[in-house]
Amino acid sequence: MSKYGAIPNLIYSDANAAVSFLKDAFGFKEHGIYKDDNGKIFHAQLSLGKALVMINPFNPETAFGKMMNLPKNLDGYNTQTPYFIIDNVDEHYKIAKANGAKIVMDIKDEDYGGRGYSCKDPEGNIWSFGSYNPYESK
C-alpha cells in the first residue's frame, strides 16, 4: 500500500517553458526545481494544493527516455492525463484559458458528481481539473 499516493511525471521538449506555463495557467507552485549549469531544468516538482507533479525534459538517450515520447511525435495523442481535484473550477478554467490552455473538453457538471474540464498545454499534454473527489464520494 502506498503511503503517499501517486505523482504523475510528464516530459517536455522545453521543461523551463512548461514549468512557467503550468504555474501561470494552472496555479502550480514550485516544490523543487533542479537546473543544470546553463539554467535548464533537468527535474522539477510542482504542487497544486497537496498534489504533486514531476516535470522532466524529454531525453531519448536515457533508459527512461527510450520508453517515452512527446504528444507532438504521436500526432497529438496522449496515453494518459493527470486529474487534479480543485475547489473553484470555474475560476481555474478562466485563468487556464486566458493563459493559453487549449480546452479539449469544456467545463461541465458530470453525471457522477463534480464539475470539471480538460485542456492541452502548449506541448500537447492533456490535463484535467475538477471538483469531483472520489475519496469523498464513497
Please give the tally of structural domains in the chain.
1
Residue 2, in any domain of the structure = no
Is residue 137 situated within a structural domain?
A: no
CATH number of the structural domain spanning residue 16: 3.10.180.10
Task: Say what the pLDDT of residue 138 is.
Answer: 56
Give the pLDDT mean for 59-87: 91
Contacts 24+ apart (CB under 8 A), 67-70: 68/11, 70/11, 70/12, 70/13, 70/123, 70/124
- Where do we find the cell 481555474? 92
Mean pLDDT taken over the chain:
94
Which residue range is the domain that position 20 belongs to?
9-60+76-130
Other residues' Cβ atoms within 10 Å of the Cβ of residue 88: 11
3 in a structural domain: no
4 falls within a domain: no
- Asked if the structure places residue 95 within a domain, the reply is yes
* For residues 85-111, average pLDDT: 97
